[in-house]
Amino acid sequence: MSINVKEAVKAIREMVPIIDPEDDYLTIAAAEERMAVTHEARQKELHEAHVKLKQLAKALEAARISATRPSTIPSAEEHVTQMNDLDATRLSLAKAINDAEGALAGKEAELTRLKEETRALEMSDPAAEHDLDATALRLAIYKGLGFEPIMDKDGRMSKILVRAEHGDVHLVTLDGSKSDAEYIDMLWRPAKSLPVASD
């Protein structure tokens, strides 16, 4: 659609009286001022949005870090491995405890047996369990003092050899012709200060 130049010029001439350059200038200045205020408000909003965005980014990073498994905490596979190792250790310790308890029971049984044996030994009299030959003991004591009895064929003491200190040997016959005091005197007179005789 083509515009007629004459009509356009005519329309512009008709508008000249109603166009006020000062009023238009004020309108444009007000519009620019409003645009400057709007721009400043938008810049402020944009700055605040950037600040919030940074805060949200930091919060997101903190949340990501807190959601991430720390290096000190084992992974699921490592946790399963550790649990298996702990189970094996627990079974091993249980077996060791069981073995130790068995050994302890054996030692306690052995201790009880040894206590009973000790009690039996303390209550027993070894001397009473053996028949001691009192005659043989007396003869050994006499011989140690230097007196050596000589028995007859009936097993009675008939003579006594007395070993003197200087080495002499005296024979005392026990025929019953003297008193006991005389026989004692006859035995001890040569045996004064006798050392223990050897065989």
The β-bridge partners of 90 are: none
pLDDT of residue 199: 40
**Three-state secondary-structure class, residue 169:** strand
pLDDT of residue 196: 42
Is 158 exposed, middle or buried (CB count within 10 Å of its CB: 0-12, 13-18, 19+)?
A: middle
Q: Where are the domains of the chain?
A: 6-50, 132-190
Tell me the C-alpha distance between 77 and 79, whole Å: 5
Mean pLDDT of successive 10-residue stretches along the chain, which has 199 residues: 73 72 75 89 92 92 79 79 91 92 91 90 70 69 77 80 76 82 80 49
132-190 in CATH: which number?
Answer: 3.30.160.430
pLDDT of residue 192: 67
pLDDT of residue 25: 75
pLDDT of residue 198: 42
Tell me the C-alpha distance between 140 and 132, whole Å: 13
- Structural tokens at position 114: 């040894």
pLDDT of residue 1: 53
pLDDT of residue 143: 76
Is 104 exposed, middle or buried (CB count within 10 Å of its CB: 0-12, 13-18, 19+)?
A: exposed
pLDDT of residue 126: 64
Q: In whole angstroms, how large is the CA radius of gyration of the chain?
A: 68
